[in-house]
Structure 1
Amino acid sequence: MADLIAQGPQNYHRWRREVPDAAMRRDVVIGRSDADWNVPWDPMISRAHVRLIPQADGRLEVIAVASARNPVYHQGRHAVRFVLVPGDHFVIGKTTFTLAAATGKRSPERLGDGAAEDEVDVTENVFDHVALRRKHFRDVNARIDVLTRLPDLIASSDSDQELLVRVTSVLLQSTPSAEAVSILSAGDLQHDPEAPIEVLHYDNRSATLGGSPISRRLVQRSIEKRESILNVWASGDSMLTTSAFTAREDVDWAYCVPLRTQACRGWVIYITGKLPDTEMMTGSGSPVDISEQLHDDVKFAELVGTTMASLQQSRQLQRRQAAMSNFFAPIVMRALASGDSEKVLQPREAELTVMFCDLRGFSSRSEQDSQQLLQLLSDVSDALGVMTKHILGYDGVIGDFHGDAAMGFWGWPLAQDRSIIQAAGAALAIQAEYHRSDLGFRCGIGLAHGRAVAGQIGTKDQVKVTAFGPVVNLSSRLESMSKRFGAEIILDEAARAALLAAGRHGFRLRRLAKVRPAGFASPVEISELIGEAAIGTHQVTDALIADYEAALDLFCASDLDGALRLFRSLPTWDGPTQMMIKQILSGDSEGDVIDLPK
């Protein structure tokens, strides 16, 4: 496979990319931005300038994009369509694009066989990376420009491949004596001497130079020692007699720099070069001299490798967080980012506000749409999405799904002084969106406030992040009561008290009754949270709330006749009013407490 090399006006304006195989039938667009291959340094290049079409014989057809502003020059003439052969080039603006011959670099060979490699006159120098970083560059001025641009240059890479291209280009242009730069993935070479070495990216100074030799032994030792290692295979006159043991005569030395992060496990930077002709002919370049001369280059490669490895580690963390975001709420992700995950997710007792939210109208819709189950599934998913969107949007955690209901909670993993405010805001937002939408559903919501255990709860076979405790059960019971009372959002006494203590923040409340939920020994005073959304075509006014609560006080004082008269004076469309009238007429009340079946 051939490569295309782009070279701009500055040494660091460069990249080398592998041309896709013709059998893949994949065209490539070159442009300044948002193209397949970008050339950001040249303003003469349009956003999309030329299209490359790989040919079966190793050639490359180039077609100028009609919208490109500036001309493309091939063989000194303006051209809109032409074919490149290996070694040929074309020019746009101040950038030259050269088609390099196939290098065979995807299958690197070891330096001779095992016995021959051991017999080669190799001088090895191991650099301690800590000491290397402490030692100053001999000529910092020659490096300062690249060093100041290095973090932005690497961090602005929009993909892993772009990162590799930029790193190899920077190393090649900043290492004067280098002939070729490779970034390799050695995989399990440390444990398996025969493990394959993959070339992640490769670049060299010549459009015609083939793939550089790679010493498996050098790569293996560098990974084992976790240090940069320089090998000089020959020096002086002996170089002429031992060159047969090198993979090619135009390479005299190589150094290998390991990348020391889990994200780049087994990755190394491998740079090869040739001694200047003057040193070869005079024999003045001893291995010690060569090591000293290459000191700055090895140090620079260490710096580039560390920067790249850190960026890869950061990107890997971002990808993991992106994947985890499908399973964890944003507030959990923030907590995970600031601490140890096991400690953050460990179950612990906390002050929680718990919400159960259930769809109303699901059963009737299921019967009506029994012949359109996929559409019903889509509608239910959209309806559940309303719940989850607002629970997460108000910094809540999705604890579980129960059929057509969702459970959320606030107050974990980070303590939230305003958990009841957030939960109430989410409940009203859910209610309002159902009333505005055409999904055909309404909701019943229960909110309870109190102590519970939250965290990663489950068995050894399956765990999930959820909450556990009586307050969770109470929230579920309150949601069930909402249907009986005809009130969409019902709170327990603790949630009402917390909301009042927080100053209500514009929330309107109505005391409904004192009830004993199924499975509970003690009664609970419940209230309705009233939003701006209409119940049918009617609004619950402040006057209605005052009259209802006055009637409720009569009921609690055992003045059932007075309570009934006042309740009957209230609007017939008000669900809680009708519930209380039925309760009084049934005669099932135990004092002021209403016992509710499950």
Structure 2
Amino acid sequence: MILAALNQENPLERTFAELKTGRVVRIGRKPVALDGEDVDLLKIPWKDRLISRNHFSAHLDESGGLVIDRLPALGGRSKPNALYSNVPSRDREELDEPLRLSPGDSFCVGLKGSTSFFCLTSVGDLDEAVEKLAELSEAEAAGLTPGRTTLVDYDDVEQLNEYSLRLQLKMLQRELPEQVLSGWTDEEELFSRTARFLEGSLPGQKGVSAGYVSISKIDGEVECELLNRDPTARADFRPSKTLLAQLDLEHPTKEDVHIWSSKEDRRVFRVGSLGTEIDWVSVIPVASMEDGAEVYRDESGRPVYQYVVVRQATETAAASFVPFLRLIASLVASLLQAREEQRIQDRMATYFSPALRSVMGREDEALFEPAMVDCSVVFADRRGSSRILEKANTDEEILDRLRENQEIVSEITGTVFEHEGVITDFSGDGALALWGWPKWVESKRAHARKSVEAAEKIVQNLADHVEFEEEHGRLMSSVRLGVSTGRIAVGKTGPSQQWHISVFGGVANLGARLERIAKEFKVPILISSETRERLVEDKRVEKEGRLLRKLCFIQPAGFDQSYPIFELVQPKDLGGSGVSREKVKLYEQALEFFIDRDWDDCIDLLRPLSEEDEPSLWLMKRALKFRKNPPDEPWQGQIRSLIK
């Protein structure tokens, strides 16, 4: 058996005690056990002055029922407050003692107390027990017919008196910016801040409770969810489903404003779901005042409304406050819309440079749908990151390596953006970049050149990370890059709330393989034959003097055919091979001998080159292997790569 205590002022504050046969639990603000006394203690941690330090005890009787005994008064003090039925304070009745409870029963301490106690079978039953109490009051309201709603143009209501108007302006000018507009981080916080602002800003009104609710109808029954789960909100703030049932939930509009007054709707306000203390209630759609604006909806697609309850109202007509409340509801809608637009921009910032994002803001989102596009892709990866992390012996060393990885990935991203590229994916130590998409980009026709320029610039910008490796006896670049060009499928994938850009197809897969194959040749940049052909066609490339070397015909892992691949030669001080044009010609002549199965002439040309050139050493080893064990026919010079 479980005894649960709940703070009505903050339902999130709860505490529990498990009752065991033969054991007594003492409950209070600061319960204590006397010397030699063997009892369990349940402390009420929140502030409720109606609960004494040692208020009552609980134990199980022979039949397993829960028995509550109020403790006697200590010397010089009054007896602890009596136990009452767990209902709104105006309807509470004192309970007979000792109090015997069964699972599902509950009680309160004191006529005006704010702490409820529940007898439960398990801790998980508490939420259901609290909800049942609310449903009892709501059920009473559901059986009554609300008074007729008077249609009023709330933009033409009577003006507030001068004092009230000036007070409202003060709240808008001074309080609103600080309490609502700045510093909120998510939807729930905005709703909570705005609700608290409203509770203190209605001129001359007292006992204001405000909230934001999303509403739906399921099997004809109105269901609502309070969106500002504010711990400081009134525990008895429960929107009336009887009133909410009058809203047009099928076709919600920003003009669907409802206000109920106790003077006109007595049959509704008399029942327990609202109570006689309530003077008026307003329900206003959260929607911008702009023409054609729709009611804001939560993530489940339910319309959201501002719900305000006023107790002990002044004589000022309730309708007089509607323009003010509509203004706040409109402001909330505008803030949420601005946040959503910013969220989209932030998401796009992952993929697109600032210049591209400014263009995208003016384009149709349909242009991001998957399509076959002629593009160039660059796969960039931090070389040896796994090995570097394995050498880290302490937590601080691991974090240093990760920070260094982050710096390198940031440099890659910045360089891609500078060259009008798009980042479509990240790994822990690399990125996938794309040129030639979206379709409206001005550099689309020159995407092969742009991608190669970016690859070169990435290597140059990471010159500080070049390291000398004893294993290879030379400087090695910190990155490897594979560049491939052709038609690929590209576009946004995933749910609308969190879509990302993806690429598919053989061209993209080839680019990924080239990045990995660059590890075999120990060079920073490999490009595909199609990328090379586009560069040759671009007259600007010839003027810039780039040096390309045809390395071999290679069949990447997972591919059925072989492809000629090319090294984009980089200087030795950047970790490249640094070969001259003369040596490139000698290498490519040796490659022709290799393809023609002239192993001896191939090896003779490569032997002097291999002393300082890793690709020459790589090809010479294959030639030596094939001279000993020639490849089976048919063979056209291709070499299989097992690296994925």
Say whether the 8 Å CA contact 2:593–2:601 is kept in structure 1: no
Please name the residue that 2:262 is paired with: 233
Aligned to 2:303: 265
Equivalence for 2:423? 397
Deviation (angstroms), 1:230: 1.6
**Quick check: 1:171 aligned with 2:198?**
yes
Superposed CA deviations along residues 444-494 of structure 1, whole A, max 9, x for unmatched, are 542223343323589xxxx98533445335435544653554433222355
Cα deviation for residue 299 of structure 1 reads: 1.4
Output the TM-score relative to the length of structure 2: 0.54
- Whether the 8 Å CA contact 1:435–1:533 is kept in 2: the answer is no
Match of 2:209 in 1: 181
Residue type of the alignment partner of 1:298? V
What is the CA deviation profile of residues 382-435 of structure 1, one whole-angstrom value per residue up to 9, with x for unaligned ones? 99978865654434434698x999755443346473333334434666797474
Q: Which residue of 1 aligns with 2:457?
A: 425
Structure 1 residues 361 and 453, CA, compared in 2 at 3 Å: closer, same or farther? Answer: same
Q: How many Å separate the matches in 1 of 2:239 and 2:196?
A: 19
User: Structure 2 CA distance, aligned partners of 1:527 and 1:177?
Assistant: 79
Q: Contact 1:177–1:275 at 8 Å: present in 2 too? A: yes
CA contact (8 A) 1:444 1:488 kept: yes
Q: Contact 1:347 / 1:454 at 8 angstroms: preserved in 2?
A: yes
Determine the structure 2 residue equivalent to 1:488: 524
Structure 1, unpaired ranges of 5+: 4-16, 25-52, 62-99, 280-289
Matched, 1:597 2:635: no
Indicate the residue corresponding to 2:282 in structure 1.
Answer: 255
| 2:221 aligned counterpart, secondary structure | coil
The 3-state SS of whatever aligns with 2:567 is: strand
1:219-246 deviation per Cα after TM superposition (whole angstroms, max 9, x unaligned) = 22236365111222326xx98x998558
SS in 2 for 1:188: strand
Q: 1:527 aligns with which of 567, 582, 596?
A: 567
Per-residue deviation at 1:349?
Answer: 1.0
Aligned-partner residue type, residue 530 of structure 1: Q
CA deviation after TM superposition for structure 1 residue 183, in Å: 0.6
**Matching residue within 508, 517, 528 for 1:472:** 508
The answer as to whether partners of 1:354 and 1:409 remain within 8 angstroms in 2 is yes
Q: Is the 8 A contact 1:182 1:199 kept in 2?
A: no
Amino acid at match of 1:255: S
Structure 1 residues 431 and 450, CA, compared in 2 at 3 Å: closer, same or farther? farther
CA distance in 2, matches of 1:273, 1:506: 81
Q: 1:357 to 1:169 in 2, by over 3 A?
A: closer
Kindly indicate whether the alpha-carbon contact (under 8 Å) linking 2:492 and 2:501 is maintained by their aligned counterparts in 1: yes
Quick one: which amino acid aligns to residue 149 of structure 2? E
Q: Contact 2:144–2:268 (CA<8 Å) still a contact in 1?
A: no
Aligned to 2:241: 216
SS of 1:113's equivalent in the other structure is: helix
Once the two structures are superposed, the pairs formed by residues 265-414 of structure 1 within 5 Å of their partners are 265-274=303-312, 276=314, 293-315=317-339, 329=351, 343-355=367-379, 357=381, 392-393=413-414, 394-395=416-417, 396-398=422-424, 408-413=433-438
Kept in 2, the 8 Å contact 1:397–1:409? The answer is: yes
Q: Which amino acid aligns with 1:471?
A: V
Give CA deviations for 1:149-198 in whole Å, capped at 9, x if unaligned.
Answer: 54664221434555344323432343225331321435435755364664
Residues 380 and 211 (structure 1), Cα distance of their counterparts in 2 relative to 1, 3 Å cut:
closer
> CA offsets, 1:38-91, max 9 Å, x none?
xxxxxxxxxxxxxxx734756899xxxxxxxxxxxxxxxxxxxxxxxxxxxxxx
Cα deviation code 1:92-111 (max 9, x no counterpart): xxxxxxxx974999976757
Equivalent residue, structure 2, for 1:549: 584
Could you say if the C-alpha distance between residues 320 and 584 of structure 1 is closer, same or farther in structure 2, counting changes exceeding 3 Å?
Answer: closer
Pair 1:379–1:213, CA change in 2 (3 A): closer
1:306 CA displacement: 2.0
Identity %: 16
Residue 154 of structure 1 corresponds to 180
Contact 2:167 2:203 in 1 (8 A): no
Q: For the residues of structure 2 that align with 1:495 and 1:60, how far apart are their CA atoms?
A: 82
1:447 aligns with 2:483: yes
Seen in structure 2, the aligned counterparts of structure 1 residues 349 and 412 have a Cα distance that, compared at 3 Å, is same
Q: Kindly report which structure 2 residues correspond to 1:514-593, keeping only aligned pairs within 5 A, or say none.
A: 515-518=552-555, 524=564, 526-530=566-570, 535=575, 540-541=577-578, 544-552=579-587, 570=609, 572-579=611-618
Letter in 2 for 1:306: S
Quick check: 1:508–1:530 contact (8 Å CA) kept in 2?
Answer: no
- Give me the CA root mean square deviation: 6.1
Counterpart residue number, 1:282? none
1:48 is matched with none
Paired with 1:134 and 1:506, the residues of 2 have a C-alpha distance of 73
The answer to whether the 8 A contact 1:356-1:405 is kept is yes
8 Å contact from structure 2 (residues 459, 574) kept in 1:
no
Q: Cα distance 1:526–1:540, how it changes in 2: closer, same or farther (>3 A)?
A: closer
Give 1:558 deviation, angstroms.
8.1
Distance (whole Å) between structure 1 residues aligned to residue 510 and residue 229 of structure 2: 60
Once residues 134 and 535 of structure 2 are traced to their aligned partners in structure 1, the CA distance between those partners, rounded to angstroms, is 69
Q: Per the alignment, in what secondary structure is the counterpart of residue 262 of structure 1?
A: coil
| Cα distance in 1 for residues equivalent to 2:532 and 2:211 | 63
Q: 2: distance between equivalents of 1:470 and 1:114?
A: 65
Taking the TM superposition and a 5 Å limit, the aligned residue runs for 1:42-57 are 54-55=46-47
What is the DSSP-based 3-state SS (H/G/I as helix, E as strand, rest coil) of the residue aligned with 1:166?
helix
Deviation at 1:136, TM superposition (A): 10
After superposition, the Cα gap between the structure-2 partners of 1:103 and 1:548, relative to the gap in structure 1 and judged at 3 Å, is: same
- CA gap 1:386/1:512 in 2 versus in 1, 3 angstroms: farther
SS at match of 1:234: coil
Structure 2 residue 64 is the aligned partner of structure 1 residue 21: no
Distance 1:248 1:524, change over 3 A: closer
* Cα offset, 1:262, TM superposition: 1.0
| 1:130-141 equivalences in 2 (<5 Å) | 132=154
Taking the aligned partners of 1:243 and 1:490, their CA distance within structure 2 comes to: 77
Aligned residues: 474
Deviation (angstroms), 1:261:
0.7
> Does the C-alpha gap of structure 1 residues 245 and 483 become closer, same or farther in structure 2, counting only changes over 3 Å?
closer
**Contact 2:553 / 2:638 at 8 angstroms: preserved in 1?**
yes
* TM-superposition CA deviations, 1:548-587 (whole Å, max 9, x none): 1353476689899999887655571321333465678878
What is the alpha-carbon distance in structure 2 between the residues aligned to residue 302 and residue 268 of structure 1? 9
Cα distance between partner residues in 2 of 1:301 and 1:384: 51
Amino acid at match of 1:156: S
